[in-house]
Amino acid sequence: MDRPDMGRRGFLAIGAAMAAAGLLAGCGFHMRGNADFAFKRLYIGIPPGTLMGADLRRNIRNGSDTKIVEDKADADAFLDVLSDTRGKSILSITAQGVVREYRLNQRFVFRLTDSTGKELIPPSTLLLTRDLTYNEANTLAKAYEEEQLFRDMQKDVVQQLMRRLAAVKTI
């Protein structure tokens, strides 16, 4: 038994999907695609066993045609990490002197040089902050939330670093 309204529904669904795609394209939206780096072989000065090193390597491998090399002699460019620090400071306290909020921060300082030592990106700092409310009754949950916030900041650092590396046009 053929239902004539099923064909019309399918046509309307396809039309709605095409209209949505057109609206998204019109507003400047585009999905994250491959980064086009000016260098094709990159040495990363972060140990691959660290979470930051693993995240960055995975993003470069999956998001570009650049190859990560383990020997500096084989690289077109060197990513040097000058510092990567995390911090936690008290943001507010109650009248009784009990901590109410913390401010978490991550500071990542890096530079990019080519194989001759010429700076492609001078020493640059990525600084991220997050605020964390605190309650002594939920100590374990807040410790987990703190770790998740630091993990999210690390992912943000990797994404910002990818954009900065993609901004280099010539080596």
Give the burial class of 5: count Cβ atoms within 10 A of its Cβ; 0-12 exposed, 13-18 middle, 19 or more buried: exposed
CA-CA-CA-CA torsion for 96, 98, 101, 104, nearest 10 degrees? 140
Class of the 35-166 domain? alpha beta
Model confidence, pTM: 0.75
7-24 b/e (C-beta count within 10 Å ≥ 16 → b): eeeeeeeeeeeeeeeeee
pLDDT for 147: 96
Q: Average per-residue pLDDT in the chain?
A: 87
pLDDT in tens, 62-97: 988 999 999 999 999 999 999 999 999 999 999 999
Domain ranges for the chain: 1-31, 35-166
Neighbours of 44 (CB within 10 A): 21
Residue 54 pLDDT greater than 70, yes or no: yes
